[in-house]
Amino acid sequence: MGKLRFAMCGTGFWARYQLAGWRELADVECVAVCGRSQMEANNFAGDQGIPAFYEDLETMLKRERPDFLDIVTNVDSHEELARLGLARLVPVVCQKPLVASLPRAEALVHDFAKSDVPLFVNENWRWQTPLREIKKSIERGTIGKVFRARVDMISGFPVFANQPFLRDLEQFILTDLGSHILDVGRFLFGEVRSLYCQTQKTLPEIRGENVATVLLTMVTGATIIVELAYAQNPLERECFPQTLAFIEGTEGSLELCPDYWIRTTTKQETVSACYPPHHYVWADPAYDVVHSSIVPCQSNILSGFRGGQVETTGEDNLNTLKLVFAAYDSARSGQAVNLQKQGHA
Ligand code: 89V
């Protein structure tokens, strides 16, 4: 297969990093971009050296006939845009969360599968350098069987400055950040048997919840606590957007500490090693660990177009979305939700 030609939909904050990520990879090129207006699309195409620009996705797909469509827009538009791709049998790569409703996400994934058109989610968090190292260490059995872990993403960072639409989401932290961190939970510890969640809203100026605590009981029997907050309070340690973790196993523990240090303690010793993300010149230094994870995620997705195995398929991502929406159900009802009963994979 020769060079893959893709078209991008979206010209906002995230689109330029997504584009820069693709450009780190061989045999893939962006041939066109579609924006909300002719002017936005023209400006983005001019700045980024993309040969063609459109304000209408259907026209772009018809004229450019891309090998795939990359959707980098706000969540509200994902479903409609992905369906326009599907109607022309164009494979789609989409940002997370795929769709802000579980039944609609399920229908979308089902319809792509029925037409045998690939649908992938750019769920990049699990591709972060230190998280891949933690996974390898767990798989090597360094700390024995994991029985409990805490995974945190707690930040005072003014996330709404770069992504103002997040202020208006009725369901905020669990959809935007929880989709990443709950996916990390599945990536590191396997599938979930049941969960319990509490949410809080501490910022009057936003619509949705900005604090969430989720307690997961894994199929393995391990207990995982996920703590999320964008409370904009002064924090002693400001390490946005780093994920911190403390993982207890029968033979030792792993700690993912600030600034990408992993401390491994076994009967023999405690060893600390640093796994910083690769720094790309195009990355925003405040988002280094996230922006660098876009590249291996996209590389894995590209391998899917060539017959390889993709981790973050639409189908796989449904299992993460089930956790997100089960967490809202639990927060509403005050009850734990049994995911195995819901037919969770
Ligand atoms: O990566 C993202 O999805 C962003 C962030 C979680 C960093 O705010 O929305």
Q: Which two tokens stand for residue 210?
A: 């900005």
* pLDDT of 77 strictly over 80: yes
Residue whose CA lies nearest to ligand 1 atom number 9: 176
Q: Could you tell me which of 78, 26, 73, 49 has the C-alpha nearest to residue 298?
A: 26
Helix, strand, or coil here: 78? helix
pLDDT tens figures, 188-199: 999 999 999 999
Q: Six-digit token pair at 272? A: 């600390």
CA angle 10, 153, 206 (to 5 degrees): 60
What mean pLDDT is reported for the chain? 96
The whole-angstrom separation of Cα 311 and Cα 60 is 28
Domains of the chain, with CATH numbers? 4-95 (3.40.50.720), 126-284+314-338 (3.30.360.10)
Indicate whether 273 pLDDT > 60: yes
Choose the residue to mutate in 96, 98, 159, 168 for probing ligand 1, maximizing ligand atoms within 8 Å of C-beta: 159
pLDDT of residue 342: 65
Over 80: is that where the pLDDT of 345 sits?
no
Q: Could you tell me the two tokens for 268?
A: 């023999």
How much is the pLDDT for 344? 46
Mean pLDDT of all residues in 170-185: 97
Closest among 151, 97, 153 to 290, alpha carbons compared: 153
At 328, is the pLDDT very low, low, confident or very high (cuts 50, 70, 90)?
A: very high
Mutate which of 177, 226, 232, 284 to test ligand 1's pocket (most atoms within 8 Å of Cβ)?
177
Per-residue H/E/C for 233-260: CCCCCCCCCCCEEEEEECCEEEEEEHHH
Q: Grade residue 167 by pLDDT with cuts at 50, 70 and 90.
A: very high
Please give the Cα distance from 158 to 295 (Å, whole number). Answer: 25
Residue 178 Cβ contacting ligand 1 at under 6 Å: no
pLDDT digits (tens, 9 = 90+) for 106-163: 999 999 999 999 999 999 999 999 999 999 999 999 999 999 999 999 998 888 988 8
Is residue 176 in contact with ligand 1, taking CB distance under 6 Å?
A: yes
pTM value > 0.85: yes
158 close to 199: Cβ distance less than 8 angstroms: no
d(CA 329, CA 9): 32
For residue 109, give the 3-state DSSP assignment.
helix
Gap between the Cα atoms of 166 and 162, Å rounded: 9
Tell which one of 171, 175, 180 to mutate to probe ligand 1, the residue whose CB is within 8 A of the most ligand atoms: 180
Structure confidence at residue 207 as a pLDDT band (50, 70, 90)? very high
pLDDT tens for 85-105 read 999 999 999 999 999 999 999
Q: Residue 34: is its pLDDT beyond 80? A: yes
In this predicted model, what pLDDT tens digit does every residue of 230-269 receive, in sequence order?
998 888 776 889 999 999 999 999 999 999 999 999 999 9
177 touches ligand 1 (CB under 6 Å): yes
